Structure 1
Amino acid sequence: MVPLLLVLLLALVLFGAGFALKALWIIAVIVLVLWALGFVMRSAGTGGKRGRWYRW
């Protein structure tokens, strides 16, 4: 009974880790797309220079 519970626990942990990693990849792609859009659509500053769309 204990080996069966250990295998089920391992499967549950691996499933959870796989789901978390997939969710992190999706979040990373969304952030990358938003960054690229902000880089392309930034407004022009004074003197015709392109301004930074971020604060740092």
Structure 2
Amino acid sequence: MGNLLYWAIVFLVIALVAAFLGFGGVAGVATEGARILFWVAIILLVISVVGGMLRRG
């Protein structure tokens, strides 16, 4: 899961640099990629926590 968050941060940095340089299309795509990876990581975290609770219970 740490790898997903790493890539989300990488896409966010790419989006910020692209926006600063004036590449709006690239910035938008990178922002959406970062957003998707972030939410996938959060969903996997929740599934992992719930699965861990059920396994112990």
Long gaps (5+) in structure 1: 38-56
Q: CA deviation at 1:16?
A: 0.2
Deviation track 1:1-40 (CA, whole Å, cap 9, x = no partner) reads x810000000000000000000000000000000000xxx
Match of 1:31 in 2: 51
Match of 2:39 in 1: 19
Identity %: 11
**Structure number with higher relative contact order (C-alpha < 8 Å, ≥ 6 residues apart):** 2
Q: Bigger radius of gyration, 1 or 2?
A: 1
Partner SS state of residue 19, structure 1: helix
Long gaps (5+) in structure 2: 1-21
Count the aligned residue pairs.
36
Match of 1:9 in 2: 29
Partner SS state of residue 17, structure 1: helix
**In 2: Cα distance, 1:5 partner to 1:33 partner:** 43
Cα RMSD over matched residues? 1.3
